[in-house]
């Protein structure tokens, strides 16, 4: 998940031109919350980012971002809504980094050994956040202050889960682009890549057809042998000659690019996953259809994500830029990629791969059986596919309250999320024409009307929850 990524898999997080101010702090976090004997009282330094510029200590709430699968700085810089709402609500802003990501490594460079990484779970991460909030409230002497959780993609899932699991700590949550049903194994696992395809079809009906033609030509060139492989290497500007055995990885590299473009299909240029133009799906389709040859168009469009607009890469190293893992939508690279791969091998159920029938991509399946085999070989673990249906409630969430589930119409993750109201306080918003957690981004003069309207409704609901919680606490209810 490219949370985001999400995601939900993440190559890197660049800072937008509008930089949000913060101070960096660390909390001495318990290593294992659930086994009193395993690490005793040992702790690790968990990073969090902090801004009290707008905070009214006597009456303002705490806005707490539940960090995703990467360095927390990137999520802060791309979640300006928290800052915008903090100005209105006079809130304290806290962005907490997820254990095993960024610099919040419980065992430093040794954190990714099989026995150590076993402490990377949803449950441990949520306990981290709950304990950190309790510490902050005690340290600041604001024990009765309301706390609203925010998050996008995987972070959005965690925001909702925190309200499920710790309603005594979290008064409400905004869960943006949070595919909580899909991750729990509910729904259609083929829908993700079908929805990526639909995004490209909306840009131009000929675009997916041309993509499929290009993949067919790629297969034909592979079958030709050395000369065909040389043509592919030159067309895609690969740093090393492609072999026939590596063709499948090249297809995954292309699919990963198109997936990222669909998620980042914002109406203005961004630098979240890569330096991309506004509406990058439209941009990529124009590149594909303008090329003299479909394969050349496919290569140029795929390079858009890895090289960005105006990028300086002279060639592409498909094995460092894309790493196959337990998440067919991509895990990212480096230690963050390892951590997400482990999570995708244990609790999280991701899409099953592309099939070339309901989507425009080659048949690159990833069945639950294939996942079991991969995870056993890679991490010596077997996924527990039914666990999240129990642990975080699956689809039976009606007993919860005070959660906003927002989804973008163009976001390929939307099908795995909550798309309709469940109650007066479990509310769903769809950002028409919006991509992955678009509403979480800061206000921009180029915003489309739908996201402006959704943000206003989100603000109204959050302020109502805060006011109601204050009233109940005054009455000691």
Domains, the chain, ordered by start:
1-189+385-477 (3.40.50.1820), 191-321 (1.20.120.980)
3-state class of 339 per DSSP? helix
- How far, in Å, CA of 284 to CA of 281, rounded? 5
Length of the chain (residues):
477
Return the bridge partners of 94, or none: 50, 64
**52 an active-site residue?**
no
CA distance 320 to 274: 15
* CB atoms closer than 10 angstroms to residue 354: 27
Counting DSSP H helices and E strands in the chain, the numbers are 17, 10
Of 75, 67, 66, 65, nearest to 12 by C-alpha is: 75
- 423 assigned to active site: no
Active-site residue, selected from the candidate residues 79, 104, 111, 153: 153
And the tokens for 377?
A: 């070989």
Instruction: Answer for the pair 439, 429: CB distance below 8 angstroms, yes or no.
Output: yes
Mind listing the pLDDT tens digit of every residue in the chain (477 residues)? 644 333 333 333 333 446 899 999 999 999 999 998 988 889 999 999 999 999 999 999 999 999 999 999 999 999 999 999 999 999 999 999 999 999 999 999 999 998 999 999 999 999 999 999 999 999 999 999 999 999 999 999 999 999 999 999 999 999 999 999 999 999 899 999 999 999 999 999 999 999 999 999 999 999 999 999 999 999 999 999 999 999 999 999 999 999 999 999 999 999 988 899 999 999 999 999 999 999 999 999 999 999 987 778 999 999 999 999 999 999 999 999 999 999 999 999 999 999 999 999 999 999 999 999 999 999 999 999 999 999 999 999 999 999 999 999 999 999 999 999 999 999 999 999 999 999 999 999 999 999 999 999 999 999 999 999 888 877 775
Strand (E) or helix (H) holding 26? strand 23-30
Catalytic position from the list 98, 271, 436, 437: 436
Please check whether residue 432 is in contact with residue 406, taking contact to mean a CB–CB distance below 8 angstroms: no
- Known catalytic residue at 28: no
Task: Give the position of tokens 């309250």.
Answer: 401
Residue of 265, 411, 439, 447 marked catalytic: 411
Neighbours of 309 (CB within 10 A): 13
d(C-alpha 286, C-alpha 280), whole Å: 10
Radius of gyration of the chain (CA): 22
């Amino acid at each position: 998940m490219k949370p985001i990524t999400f995601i939900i898999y993440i190559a890197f997080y660049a800072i937008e031109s509008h930089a949000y101010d913060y101070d960096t702090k660390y909390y001495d976090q318990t290593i294992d919350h659930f086994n009193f004997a395993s690490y005793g009282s040992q702790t690790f330094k968990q990073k969090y980012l902090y801004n009290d510029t707008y905070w009214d200590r006597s009456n303002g709430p705490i806005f707490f971002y539940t960090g995703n699968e990467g360095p927390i700085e990137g999520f802060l810089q791309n979640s300006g809504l928290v800052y915008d709402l903090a100005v209105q609500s006079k809130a304290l802003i806290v962005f907490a980094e997820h254990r095993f990501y960024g610099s919040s490594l419980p065992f430093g460079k040794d954190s990714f050994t099989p026995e150590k990484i076993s402490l990377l779970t949803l449950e441990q991460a949520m306990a981290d956040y709950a304990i950190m909030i309790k510490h902050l409230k005690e340290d600041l002497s604001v024990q009765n202050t309301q706390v609203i959780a925010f998050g996008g993609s995987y972070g959005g899932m965690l925001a909702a889960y925190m309200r499920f699991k710790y309603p005594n700590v979290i008064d409400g949550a905004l869960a943006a682009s949070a595919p909580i049903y899909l991750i729990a194994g509910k729904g259609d696992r083929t829908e993700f890549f079908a929805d990526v395809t639909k995004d490209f079809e909306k840009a131009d009906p000929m675009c997916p057809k041309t993509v499929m033609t290009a993949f067919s030509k790629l297969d034909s060139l592979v079958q030709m042998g050395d000369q065909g492989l040389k043509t592919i290497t030159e067309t895609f500007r690969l740093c090393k000659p492609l072999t026939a055995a590596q063709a499948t990885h090249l297809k995954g590299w292309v699919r990963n690019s198109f997936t990222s473009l669909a998620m980042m299909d914002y109406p203005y240029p961004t630098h979240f996953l890569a330096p991309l133009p506004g509406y990058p799906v439209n941009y990529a389709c124009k590149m594909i259809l303008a090329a003299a040859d479909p394969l050349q168009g496919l290569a140029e469009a795929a390079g858009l994500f890895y090289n960005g607009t105006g990028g300086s890469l002279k060639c592409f190293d498909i094995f460092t830029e894309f790493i196959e893992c337990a998440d067919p939508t991509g895990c990212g690279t480096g230690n963050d990629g390892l951590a997400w791969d482990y999570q995708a091998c244990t609790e999280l159920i991701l899409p099953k791969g592309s099939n070339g029938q309901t989507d425009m991509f080659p048949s690159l399946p990833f069945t639950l059986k294939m996942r079991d085999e991969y995870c056993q070989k890679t991490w010596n673990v077997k996924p527990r596919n039914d666990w999240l249906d129990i642990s975080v409630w699956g689809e039976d969430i009606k007993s919860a309250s005070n959660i906003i589930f927002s989804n973008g119409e163009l976001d390929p993750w939307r099908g795995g999320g909550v798309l309709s109201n469940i109650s007066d306080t479990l509310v769903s918003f769809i950002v028409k024409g919006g991509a992955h957690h678009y509403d979480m981004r800061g206000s921009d003069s180029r915003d489309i009307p739908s996201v402006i309207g959704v943000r206003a409704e989100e603000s109204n609901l959050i302020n109502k929850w805060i006011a109601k919680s204050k009233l109940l606490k005054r009455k000691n209810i």
